[in-house]
Amino acid sequence: MPYDAKHGTSVKLRSQLWFDNPDDPDMTALYIERYMNWGLTREELQSGRPLIGIAQSGSDLAPCNRHHLVLAERVREGIREAGGIAFEFPVHPIQETGRRPTAALDRNLAYLGLVETLFGYPIDGVVLTTGCDKTTPSQLMAAATVNIPAIALSVGPMLNGWYRGVRTGSGTIKWLAKKLKAADEIGWAEYYELVASSAPSPGFCNTMGTATTMNSLAEALGMMLPGCAAIPAPHKERAQIAYLTGRRIVEMVREDLKPADIMTRAAFENAIVVNSAIGGSTNAPIHLVAIARHLGIELTNDDWERIGHAVPLLLDMQPAGRFLGEDFHRAGGVPAIVAELIEGGLLPHPGATTANGRTIGENCAGRRSWDREVIRAHDEPILAEAGFLNLKGNLFGSAIMKTSVISAAFRERYLSDPGDPDAFEGRAVVFDGREDYHARINDPELAIDERTILVMRGAGPVGYPGGAEVVNMQPPDALLKKGIMELPCIGDGRQSGTSGSPSILNAAPEAAIGGGLALLRTGDRIRIDLKTREANVLVPDEELAARRRALDETLAHGGPGYVPPSQTPWQEIQRQLVTQFDEGMVLKPAVKYRDVAHRYRPRDNH
C-alpha cells in the first residue's frame, strides 16, 4: 500500500516526511538544511525523487566486501539515471576471517544497526551490498523487518586461486595445507604461499563457502537481479550489474515492491532446493531460518530436510567438488542451476516473484548450463540426494549434516556396519571449546584412532559466544601421516562452509544451556544412523539421568566451567537474548517487529 494511503498523510514517499512535508514546513526546514550542506539543492530534495540508501558493507576491515566501495559509484549512476538520489551510509563490518571471537556475533548487531538506519532516516528504498557470509543475512533480516523496497547486490567472489597449475580454493586450501604440514610435506613458507594463492583478487571466497552460498540463496529468494550472485568481483559484468541494480531499485520504489512481497514461503522453499543443488554451506539453515523469522514465516530444520534432502547435487564446485567461482559464473551461475531444476521438475515454485518484477521461472527458464562439467544436467547429477539431514536424539534436538561432502573413503570406512550401511558407531573424544581441542588433539592418551568421533562443545550462540566456526576439527598428526584425512565431528558450533569433513553441526540446544552434549564424556560410544536420522550416546537412561542431575546442579551454580565470561557489553546482551541455531540465532525480542516502516511513523526529533 502506498505510504500516503497507509498513513493518511499528503506525502507520497516516506522521505517526504523529512524533506517535503507540507503538513510541517517548520520541521522540513530543519531536516533539509543539513542535507543541502554538501551541495544537494532544495529542488532535488523536494521534487518527488525517491531517496535510495546504499547500505555500504565494504571497508578496510571487511576485505571481502571492500570492492563495494568501488561498485557504489556505478550503483549511484544507476540510481541517478532512473531519477533517484543516492544516500550511502556504513553498516557495521562483518568479516568472517578477521573478527574475533567470531563474525557471527555481529550478524545481529549489524541487523539492529541497519534496522535503525532504515527506519530513522529519509530512505525510500535500499541497495544491500552483500558479500562475506553474514553480511548477506544481516542485511536481508533488516530489510525484512523494515520492509521498504530493497534489492541485494553481491560483491562477487574472488578470481580462481591457482598454485602450480592446480586450482586453490578459499578456505578449502587451508584444510589441505594443514594436512600437508602435519604430514611434514611442506614447511611454513610454502604453507603461507599455498594459502595466499587462493585469494588472488578482490571479492569473497571463490569456493562454495558460506559467502557464495548466501549470495546464491539471496538470488534464489528473488532479492537480486538474475545472475548477480556468481559474477566474480573484478569482472566488468559486476560493475554493469551494480549499475542495473541502482536503476532497478528506483523502479521498485515506484512499484512499491517490498521484501515481504518477494521473500514469501515459496521463495524460501526454492532457496532450500537451490542450496542442495549447489552443495551450499551448513550455515545456510541458520541464516535462512533467521530471515524467515523476521518475516513471520515459520521455517525449521525439518523443512530443510523434507524439501532439500532428495535434491541432487548439480554443481561441481569445491568443497563438494572440483571447480571454483569463475567456473560457476562461466557455466551460467544461479540461473543455470534454476533452469536445470525447472527442467527436472525440481523447483517447487517457478512462479515466485523476484526483484525485477518477473518470476524466477521467467528469469531462468532455458538458461541452461554452458559447461556440463561444472553444472550438470538435472538427470546426470554428481550425487542423487545432496541435501542436509536433520539429526536428532539424546545428544541434541536438531543438528545438520551435509551429505554432499561425505567422501567415498569415509563411506567405505565408516558406513559399513555389517547389515547396516547407513549407520556408524564410534568412541567419543570430547573437547570443551577450541582451545581445549588445539591443546590436546595430539595427546596420545586420548587414544584417537580411525573409529573415533571428535566432539566439540561450548561453541554455540551462548557458549562461545556467537556460535563460532570452530568445529573444523582435523585428526591428530599421527593419523594424518597414516593417510586418515578426516574423522566424523559433532559440535554445538558451526563449521566453515569451505570444509569438506563429514560433520554434524549447529547442534541445538547447545551444551552451555544444558543441551545433551553437556552430558557426554570421553570414552562414551555414539551411534549415528543416517537412515533414521538419529544420533545417540549409548549410555543407559539411568546413567544419563544421574549425569543430568549433576549438570543441573552445576548450572544452578553459574553454569559449566567451560563457558567463558563475556568480554564486551554486546557479548553479554546477545547472550541474554539470543535463540539457538535451529531457531536462527535471532534476538528473541526482535522478531515481533515486522513491516515497521509502514506500521510506525518515526517521531520527530525536535
Could you give the string, one character per residue 42-81, with x where binding to ligand XAI holds by CB under 6 A and - elsewhere? ----------------------------------------
List 168, 318, 496, 579, residue binding ligand XAI (CB under 6 A) = 496
Q: How far is the CB of 286 from ligand XAI (least distance, A)?
A: 11
Segment interacting with ligand XAI, rule: CB under 6 A, options 65-73, 206-214, 357-365, 409-417: 206-214
Is residue 281 a contact residue for ligand XAI (CB under 6 A)? yes
List 326, 469, 492, 582, residue binding ligand XAI (CB under 6 A) = 469
C-alpha distances (whole Å) from 205 to each of 66, 157, 174, 362 are: 13, 6, 12, 29
- Distance CA(292)–CA(144), nearest Å, equals 8
Q: Give the residue with the Cβ less far from ligand XAI, 21 or 213.
A: 213
Is residue 210 a contact residue for ligand XAI (CB under 6 A)? yes
- Distance CA(229)–CA(78), nearest Å, equals 19
- Distance CA(213)–CA(229), nearest Å, equals 9
List 498, 501, 503, 536, residue binding ligand XAI (CB under 6 A) = 498
DSSP category for residue 416: -
Q: How far is the CB of 333 from ligand XAI (least distance, A)?
A: 18
Per-residue three-class SS string for 320-369: CCCECHHHHHHHCHHHHHHHHHHHCCCCCCCCCECCCCCEHHHHHCCCCC
Closest C-alpha among 361, 369, 160 to residue 277: 369
Query: How many chain residues touch ligand XAI (CB under 6 A)?
Result: 15
User: Cβ(148)–Cβ(258) under 8 Å?
Assistant: yes
Q: Give the residue with the Cβ less far from ligand XAI, 283 or 363.
A: 283
Q: How far is the CB of 175 from ligand XAI (least distance, A)?
A: 10
Segment interacting with ligand XAI, rule: CB under 6 A, options 44-52, 177-185, 301-309, 492-500: 492-500
User: How many Cα atoms within 13 Å fall on the side-chain side of residue 346?
Assistant: 29
Asked, as a colleague might, if the bond just before 560 is cis with ω within 30 of 0, I would say no
List 149, 157, 209, 393, residue binding ligand XAI (CB under 6 A) = 209
Q: Give the residue with the Cβ less far from ligand XAI, 269 or 327.
A: 327
User: Cβ(259)–Cβ(221) under 8 Å?
Assistant: no
C-alpha distances (whole Å) from 182 to each of 172, 193, 433, 481, 488 are: 16, 16, 21, 7, 19
Segment interacting with ligand XAI, rule: CB under 6 A, options 140-148, 207-215, 307-315, 390-398: 207-215
List 15, 154, 215, 283, residue binding ligand XAI (CB under 6 A) = 283
Q: Give the residue with the Cβ less far from ligand XAI, 258 or 287.
A: 287
Segment interacting with ligand XAI, rule: CB under 6 A, options 202-210, 452-460, 530-538, 573-581: 202-210
List 211, 253, 347, 470, residue binding ligand XAI (CB under 6 A) = 211
Sheet of 388-391: strand order equals 388-391, 398-402, 503-508, 489-491, 452-457, 423-432, 525-529, 534-537
Is residue 215 a contact residue for ligand XAI (CB under 6 A)? no
Q: Give the residue with the Cβ less far from ligand XAI, 387 or 497.
A: 497
Q: Give the residue with the Cβ less far from ligand XAI, 102 or 270.
A: 102
Q: How far is the CB of 311 from ligand XAI (least distance, A)?
A: 20
User: Cβ(401)–Cβ(388) under 8 Å?
Assistant: yes
Q: How far is the CB of 307 from ligand XAI (least distance, A)?
A: 22
Torsion of CA 101, 396, 573, 551, to 10 degrees: -100
Asked, as a colleague might, if the bond just before 509 is cis with ω within 30 of 0, I would say yes
From the CB of residue 23, how many other CB atoms can be counted at a distance below 10 Å? Answer: 11
- Distance CA(558)–CA(540), nearest Å, equals 27
Segment interacting with ligand XAI, rule: CB under 6 A, options 208-216, 344-352, 356-364, 373-381: 208-216
Question: Mind giving me the DSSP string for 496-533?
Answer: -TT--S-EEEEEES-GGGT-GGGG--TT-EEEEETTTT
Residue found under cell 526482535: 590
List 20, 106, 133, 510, residue binding ligand XAI (CB under 6 A) = 133
Q: How far is the CB of 268 from ligand XAI (least distance, A)?
A: 21
List 28, 57, 97, 536, residue binding ligand XAI (CB under 6 A) = 97
Q: Give the residue with the Cβ less far from ligand XAI, 96 or 303.
A: 96
Contacts of 178 (CB under 8 A, 6+ apart): 474
Cell output for 542: 539411568
Is residue 269 a contact residue for ligand XAI (CB under 6 A)? no
Q: How far is the CB of 234 from ligand XAI (least distance, A)?
A: 19
Nearest residue to ligand XAI, scored by beta-carbon proximity: 209
Is residue 13 a contact residue for ligand XAI (CB under 6 A)? no
List 20, 96, 124, 219, residue binding ligand XAI (CB under 6 A) = 96
Cell output for 171: 578456505
From the CB of residue 96, how many other CB atoms can be counted at a distance below 10 Å? Answer: 25
By the criterion CB under 6 A, which residues form the site for ligand XAI? 96-97, 133, 170-171, 205, 209-211, 281, 283, 469, 496-498
